[in-house]
Amino acid sequence: MRIRIFVKTLNILTMNKSSILALVFSFAFFASCGGDKTKKEEDTSKPVTEESNDQAADPSTYDPKRGEGKYTTVELGATLDQAMATKGEEVAGVKCTSCHKPTDEKLVGPGWKGVTERRKPEWIMNFITNPDPMINKDPEVQAQLEICLVRMPNQGLSDDEARNILEYMRKNDGVK
C-alpha cells in the first residue's frame, strides 16, 4: 500500500515538474519577443513624432516606396559591410528569428528571402523601427497581416540595430 502511495506521489511530482518546466519555457519564449524596456535610445537627436489616430489611418498620406517613419534616405554601400551584417545577424537572432526565417518560408511572420530586392532600404528601416503606422496604411502589409494573423510588434530597435539588420538582410539576399 505504501509503495502505491509513493508511486502516485512521484507521478504527481513528475507531472508538476513537467508543467513548471513548460511554463518556464513558454514564458522565456514570449519574453524574448519583446524589446528591452530598460535600454535607452542610442540616437535621441532624431525624434520620431507620434501621429494622431486620424493620420495613422489615412492611407492618402502614405508613400508605399518609403513607408512611414523618419528614414527618407538610407545610404547602402556597393558591397556588403560584413561587420554590420554579423551584428545584424546577432540582433536578429534575439529579436526576429522567433517569427521570421531567412528563407521565403513563413513562420509566424513572412520569410526574409528577397526582401531587399522587393523593398527599398528606407521602407525596411521604417518598418522595422516603427511598424504600427505602416501596418495601418500599407495595403501589402495589411494583406500579409491577413495571412500571418499577427501584427509585428515594435521591438524597440535602435537606429544602429535596425541598420545592422538591414545589412544582414542584404547578406541573406546574396549581396557580397
User: How does pLDDT run across 81-105, given as a tens digit for each residue?
Assistant: 999 999 999 999 999 999 999 999 9
We report the CATH number of the domain holding residue 104 as 1.10.760.10
Query: What's the chain's average pLDDT?
Result: 79
C-alpha cell at 138: 500599407
Task: Report, as an integer, the average pLDDT of 63-89.
Answer: 94
pLDDT given at position 35: 44
Query: With pLDDT > 70 as the criterion, what percentage of the chain qualifies?
Result: 66
Whether pLDDT at 165 is above 60:
yes
Flag whether 44 is in a domain: no
Please indicate, yes or no, if residue 42 is contained in any of the structural domains: no
Same domain, 26 and 100: no
Predicted confidence band at 131 (pLDDT cuts at 50, 70, 90)?
very high
Is the model's pTM score more than 0.75?
no
The length of the chain, given as a count of residues = 176
Note whether residue 2 is domain-resident. Answer: yes
10 Å Cβ neighbour count for 33? 14
Supply the range of the domain harboring residue 17: 1-32
110 vs 54 pLDDT, higher one = 110
Domain assignment present for 47: no
> How far from chain centre, in Å, is Cα 109?
9
Same domain, 25 and 73: no
